[in-house]
Amino acid sequence: MHAVGLVTEYNPFHNGHIYHIEQAKKITNADVVIAVMSGNFTQRGEPSILDKWQRTRAALKNGVDLVVELPIFMAVQPSHRFAAGALQLLNDLQVPDVVFGAEHPSWDFSKLVTAEQHFNKESFEQFNATYATQFNQQLNELTGHQLTDPNDILAFAYYKAALENSYPIALHPINRLGSQYHDQRITGTIASASAIRRAVELHEAIDQVAPAATVTALAKLRKLPNWEQLYPLLRNFLIQTPVESLHQIYQMAEGLEYRYREAAERELTFSGFIHHVKTKRYTYSRLLRVCLYAVMEITNSQIAQANVHPYLHVLGFTERGQEYLHQVKKQVEYPLLTKIGQDEHDGLVNLDYRAGKLYQMFTDVEQDVKHAPIIVRKGN
């Protein structure tokens, strides 16, 4: 079977994702679609609007054949680590093609990756601008391009990961259709995930931009998961934990432990807290990720340990996806998990297990232990 891979968050799954699936199959002539999907927290470190099982079901009912979870130590990361983790899993699953959206699919991303090798690395030591700003200044000087759009940034990261790891994966950027990534209004049949989340928050109809599985799941949502709900846990941890221990939290570097402690002591809301810690040096995405690492008490050593033990946690499949799993299961290098038991959640998948327990603040559904994959068969 010829597989095509997609790297996704589906936050939530919408009509634009259906277009992505259809184009991926058309471009590659694939007969099975495999999605590597982040779990209950996004790359930015925010809780997903629906849990990973609801998003898996929507994907399987609308063209995806196999959904594998991107572990949290790969998913809640800057673009280059997010992309590298996703390609690592797809490569292990023997996937030869990956199709992804980009704002400028005609760009020669391989050339941009090569240009980075000629950067002045010493300039990144200055603290008066974010890394992204300094990166784009140098990229623009060498190539005339800047990576400012989210999907272009990920496209660059896929090419870089494939090159650095010599993955035998063909990369296919395609043009995004309809709304831009950060658009906040629904104007047609395809809208950005941001616009859909905003519409749900405002109790507006989303039937025209999302399939029935997503609409039904969101209709049952009592309240959008967000950081304001998690802030009491974060604030208490930051206040109660000694600064020297805060320094052990993953990515809590360059004095952030002091800024986070001070902000937690002063601010009663998460919006006030995050604005208090923001500086030119750090993007909001970086700061949100650190918030999640902190509230989960994820340390540098835990991330280092997790990175040397990747795994394939199957969230769901169709009959075709199940057939593909049978085809490759003896060829994959990483553990292939279809159900999480005591041994796994205490060891291999401990970080995802803990993330699932945290996410249960928003849902009464068990996220990992003994949760079998979702199976969607013809006619379901």
The strand pairing partners of 37, in sequence order, are: 8, 69
**Predicted local confidence at residue 49, as pLDDT:** 97
Please check whether residue 37 is in contact with residue 8, taking contact to mean a CB–CB distance below 8 angstroms: yes
The closest of 73, 65, 74, 76 to 11, measured between CA atoms, is 76
* Top-confidence residue, 206 or 128: 206
pLDDT at residue 125 tops 90: no
Please check whether residue 239 is in contact with residue 264, taking contact to mean a CB–CB distance below 8 angstroms: yes
The mean per-residue pLDDT over the stretch 156-181 comes to: 87
**Predicted local confidence at residue 182, as pLDDT:** 52
**Predicted local confidence at residue 139, as pLDDT:** 86
The mean per-residue pLDDT over the stretch 331-337 comes to: 96
Residue 136 is labelled as binding a ligand: no
Residue 165 is labelled as binding a ligand: no
Residue 41 is labelled as binding a ligand: no
Residue 16 is labelled as binding a ligand: yes
**Predicted local confidence at residue 333, as pLDDT:** 97
Residue 57 is labelled as binding a ligand: no
Residue 176 is labelled as binding a ligand: yes
Q: Report the alpha-carbon distance of residue 366 to residue 380 in Å, rounded.
A: 23
- Band of pLDDT at residue 379, cut at 50, 70 and 90: low
Please check whether residue 357 is in contact with residue 51, taking contact to mean a CB–CB distance below 8 angstroms: no
- For residues 315, 318, 324, 326, the Cα torsion angle rounded to the nearest 10 degrees is 80
Residue 10 is labelled as binding a ligand: yes
The closest of 67, 75, 69 to 340, measured between CA atoms, is 69
**Predicted local confidence at residue 126, as pLDDT:** 62
**Predicted local confidence at residue 101, as pLDDT:** 94
* Top-confidence residue, 373 or 132: 373
- Band of pLDDT at residue 28, cut at 50, 70 and 90: very high
Please check whether residue 172 is in contact with residue 98, taking contact to mean a CB–CB distance below 8 angstroms: yes
- Tokens for 355, please give them: 């993330």
Residue 228 is labelled as binding a ligand: no
**Predicted local confidence at residue 216, as pLDDT:** 95
Write down the mean pLDDT value for the chain. 92
**Predicted local confidence at residue 124, as pLDDT:** 64
Q: What is the percent of the chain with per-residue pLDDT over 70, rounded to a whole number?
A: 95
pLDDT at residue 222 tops 90: no
Residue 85 is labelled as binding a ligand: no
Residue 9 is labelled as binding a ligand: yes
Q: Which domains does the chain have, with CATH numbers?
A: 3-104+151-224+309-376 (3.40.50.620), 109-148 (no CATH), 227-304 (no CATH)
Please check whether residue 99 is in contact with residue 86, taking contact to mean a CB–CB distance below 8 angstroms: no
- Tokens for 317, please give them: 């499949």
**Predicted local confidence at residue 305, as pLDDT:** 95
pLDDT at residue 128 tops 90: no
**Predicted local confidence at residue 140, as pLDDT:** 85
Please check whether residue 6 is in contact with residue 36, taking contact to mean a CB–CB distance below 8 angstroms: yes
Residue 76 is labelled as binding a ligand: no
The closest of 170, 1, 171, 197 to 101, measured between CA atoms, is 171
The mean per-residue pLDDT over the stretch 146-173 comes to: 94
**Please, what's the largest Cα pairwise distance for the chain?**
59
**Predicted local confidence at residue 380, as pLDDT:** 66
**Predicted local confidence at residue 118, as pLDDT:** 80
* Top-confidence residue, 171 or 192: 171
pLDDT at residue 3 tops 90: yes
Residue 178 is labelled as binding a ligand: no
Q: Report the alpha-carbon distance of residue 346 to residue 293 in Å, rounded.
A: 18
Q: pTM here?
A: 0.93
What secondary structure letter does DSSP report for 146? -
Q: Report the alpha-carbon distance of residue 237 to residue 132 in Å, rounded.
A: 30
Q: Report the alpha-carbon distance of residue 128 to residue 121 in Å, rounded.
A: 15
Q: Which of 102-111, 160-169, 184-193, 344-353 has the lowest mean pLDDT?
A: 184-193
Residue 49 is labelled as binding a ligand: no
pLDDT digit string, tens, across residues 297-319: 999 999 999 999 999 999 999 99
Residue 45 is labelled as binding a ligand: no
Spatial CB neighbours of 297, under 8 Å, sequence gap ≥ 6: 237, 249
At 10 the three-state DSSP class reads: coil
Residue 17 is labelled as binding a ligand: yes
**Predicted local confidence at residue 22, as pLDDT:** 97
Residue 345 is labelled as binding a ligand: no
At 36 the three-state DSSP class reads: strand
**Predicted local confidence at residue 136, as pLDDT:** 84
At 68 the three-state DSSP class reads: strand
**Predicted local confidence at residue 46, as pLDDT:** 97
**Predicted local confidence at residue 343, as pLDDT:** 76
**Predicted local confidence at residue 284, as pLDDT:** 94
The closest of 234, 203, 231, 230 to 219, measured between CA atoms, is 203
pLDDT at residue 271 tops 90: yes
**Strand ranges inside the chain, DSSP E:** 3-8, 32-38, 66-70, 97-102, 170-175, 312-318, 336-337, 374-376
Phi, psi of 289 (to 5 degrees): -60, -40
At 154 the three-state DSSP class reads: helix
Residue 19 is labelled as binding a ligand: yes
pLDDT at residue 179 tops 60: no
